Amino acid sequence: MYEKEVLRRRAFAIIAHPDAGKTTLTEKLLLYSGAIHLAGHVRAKKERRKTRSDWMTLEQERGISISTAAMQFVSQGYVVNLLDTPGHQDFSEDTYRTLMAVDSAVMVLDAARGVEPQTIKLFHICRERKIPIFTFINKMDLPALDPFALLDNIESVLKIEAVPLCWPMGSGRDFKGFYDLERKQVHSFQKSVTSAYPACEQITGLDDPRLQEIMGEEIYRSFREGVEIASSALPPFDYEKFLRGEQTPVFFGSALTNFGVEHLLKEFLRLSPSPQRVITEDGKIIEPASEKFSAFVFKLQANMNKAHRDRVAFVRILSGRFERGMSVFVPRLNKEIKLTSPVAFFGQERNTIDEAYAGDIIGLINPGLYRLGDLLCTGEPFLYNPLPRFAPELFARLILQDTSKAKQFRKAIHELSEEGVIQLFNIYEQTPIVGVVGQLQFDVLLYRLQDEYAVPARLESLPFQVSRWTHEKHKEKFSRYDMLVYDSEGNLVVLFENEFRLKSFQEKYPEVELFSHPPQLALAAGRK
């Protein structure tokens, strides 16, 4: 029913290891789409310091992405929903949830390093979901590995066929642009950090004597050899294999100096899939162009804008047409809710919208109603794939330092735990226990408590590294070396000092069920 609008939608995430240039590439894609007119990269000063996607104060101060940011814009007739994900492994859970809300991904690699550990983890999540992946090899204007070595690295580490759609003209100080292998065109770019420049067209082809003059004889010879091998010896781009996640088209460039970004954007819009049908946990098929509306909550965020001081639910539309003021059914609550304040995002900025379609990422003001994974629908409810939840590996008591702010403290930790920033245990005690995946999450917690809620607090570390959910009936089997706590839903959780202690317990009591998720989530996901 809504095929035309669905075909215009693109929803994708940018994934990368920290410092590969993911957020810079995000900025430049916005620049070349016309969504912004001046890029403010993470190394800039004064008025150019803030990137559009890194809106959180701590992100701007440290120059890293801490929370997924959503940006919706129109480019070449397409409505693009871009999600800039955190690269740091401590925030993997946020990234994993985000990958449930997209139809494709752009994987950014550092040209000097190739595939790095965090890239591998994120790639495997894309593979599990069969998400088509574009690869952008960044920082070609710096010392880089040989292009063939980079392609081999992708194939050997990630076990996916890597097919270049362009070929770099040199690297480091000698990087001059790229050659479009499909259209047989040479592209050289003016070097600019903040403004978009189109490709120069003075060079007519590979045999143009001016090309050799620009590159120098030795680099030109190597470049020509690379183009000939890439054109004849490497496998051709196969669109069906790409859609199945078996092949990745590879682009070379430099996001910081704008080399190759415009080409990547054009090819992404041409090749990336529109929203696809969804097969649910209970076997139903959800068609994106269906007249029945359905969507799910994949992210919650408090205090995105200090002027509003509200909470927002990030929602991915799976099917149908969203209309402002419509009523939807929320199965978890077993009731209908009217959606009165929908917004589209552009980083921290938001604009009220009247309609949206499958593939769009929208925001709903959240007065405490929504939870991660909630389904919103107008038709028959279905079981959507459960969102991932990681078992914490670091634990600490959270101690309020100003007892006069107990009310604000309770509100703050409740909202932050809803977001998935932390996991809370023994929440009704005076000093609740906080569990996180990585140390940086502790830093973010204390910073946000002070910055957003004016609540000073400190952490007291606990000597545990492993957590497992279990049933109340097993409570007596745990020793004094283990710590028994309860999560925010009242489920029993046992904290072990280390993996050795966990293994010893499992060998002694093989009949005791231990889950790395709350029991209902672990069973739904088929994991223990």
Average pLDDT over residues 273-289: 91
Q: Does the pLDDT at position 292 exceed 50? A: yes
| Band (464; pLDDT cuts 50, 70, 90) | very high
Q: Could you tell me the CATH number of the domain that includes residue 318?
A: 2.40.30.10
Kindly state whether residue 421 falls inside one of the protein's structural domains: yes
Are residue 261 and residue 330 in the same domain, yes or no? Answer: no
Do 114 and 162 share a domain, yes or no?
yes
Tell which residue, 139, 133, 140, has the closest CA to residue 106: 133
pLDDT digits (tens, 9 = 90+) for 178-218: 889 988 888 875 566 555 555 444 566 788 887 888 788 88
Task: Say which residue, 390 or 348, is predicted with more confidence.
Answer: 390
Same domain, yes or no: 185 and 109: yes
Q: Mean pLDDT of all residues in the chain?
A: 85
Regarding predicted confidence, which is higher, 146 or 415?
146
pLDDT band of 401, cuts 50, 70, 90: very high
Given a cut of 50, is residue 131 above it in pLDDT?
yes
What pLDDT does residue 145 have?
96
434 shares a domain with 290: no
Residues 369 and 418 in one domain: no
Residues 201 and 287 in one domain: no
Q: What is the pLDDT of residue 188?
A: 76
Cα–Cα distance list, 383 to 163, 295, 332 (Å): 37, 12, 11
> Does 384 reside within a domain?
no
Listed residues 273, 305, 327: the one ending a domain = 273
Closest CA to 148 of 178, 174, 168, 173: 168
| 254 burial via Cβ count (<10 Å: 0-12, 13-18, 19+) | buried
- The average pLDDT across 406-426 equals 90
Q: Examine the domain organization and report whether 324 and 219 are in the same domain.
A: no
- 70: pLDDT strictly greater than 90: no
Domain-located, residue 389: no
The DSSP string of 102-152 is -SEEEEEEETTTBS-HHHHHHHHHHHHTT--EEEEEE-TTSS---HHHHHH
Cβ-proximal residues to 315 (8 Å cutoff; 6+ apart), any chain: 295, 296, 297, 298, 361, 362, 363, 364, 376
Q: Would you call 450 helix, strand, or coil by DSSP?
A: helix
CATH number at residue 35: 3.40.50.300
Integer Cα distance of 493 and 81 in angstroms: 38
Residues 295 and 244 in one domain: no
| 202 and 186 part of one domain | yes
Q: Evaluate whether residue 386 is within a structural domain.
A: no
Among the candidates 207, 240, 273, a domain finishes at 273
Domain final residue, candidates 312, 344, 377: 377
**Number of domain units in the chain:** 3
Q: So what's the pLDDT on residue 309?
A: 65
What is the band of 105 on the pLDDT scale with cuts at 50, 70, 90? very high
> Do both 287 and 267 map to the same domain?
no
Res 67: pLDDT: 63
In a domain, 383, yes or no: no
Residue 56 pLDDT? 53
Edge to edge, what strands does the sheet with 185-187 contain?
166-168, 178-180, 185-187
User: Is 220 a member of any domain?
Assistant: yes
Of the segments 16-25, 196-205, 264-273, 448-457, which one has the largest average pLDDT value? Answer: 264-273
3-state secondary structure 355-401: EEECCCEEEEECCCCCCCCCEEECCCCCCCCCCCCCCCCEEEEEEEC
Query: What sign does the CA torsion over 519, 522, 526, 528 have?
Result: negative
Q: Which residue bears the tokens 């919103």?
A: 376
pLDDT at 55 over 70: no
Q: Which residue has the tokens 């492994």?
A: 89
Judge whether residue 40 has pLDDT over 50.
no
Range of 434's domain? 394-525
CATH number of the domain bearing residue 474: 3.30.70.3280
Q: In which band, very low, low, confident or very high, does the pLDDT at 477 lie, cut at 50, 70 and 90?
A: very high
Pairing of strands 294-302, 311-319: antiparallel
- Do 245 and 298 fall within a single domain? no
Q: What's the count of helices (H) and strands (E) in the chain, helices before strands?
A: 14, 29
Sign of CA dihedral 441, 446, 452, 457: positive
User: What residues form DSSP beta bridges with 134?
Assistant: 106
Task: Tell me: pLDDT of 341 over 50.
Answer: yes
Compute the Cα dihedral for 84, 88, 94, 96 and give only its sign: positive
Q: What is the mean pLDDT of residues 439-449?
A: 89
What would the mean pLDDT of 56-69 be, rounded to a whole number?
A: 58
Confidence of residue 59 (pLDDT cuts 50, 70, 90): low
pLDDT at residue 294, rounded to an integer: 96
Give the residue-averaged pLDDT of 255-260. 87
Asked whether residue 326 falls in the same domain as residue 463, the answer is: no
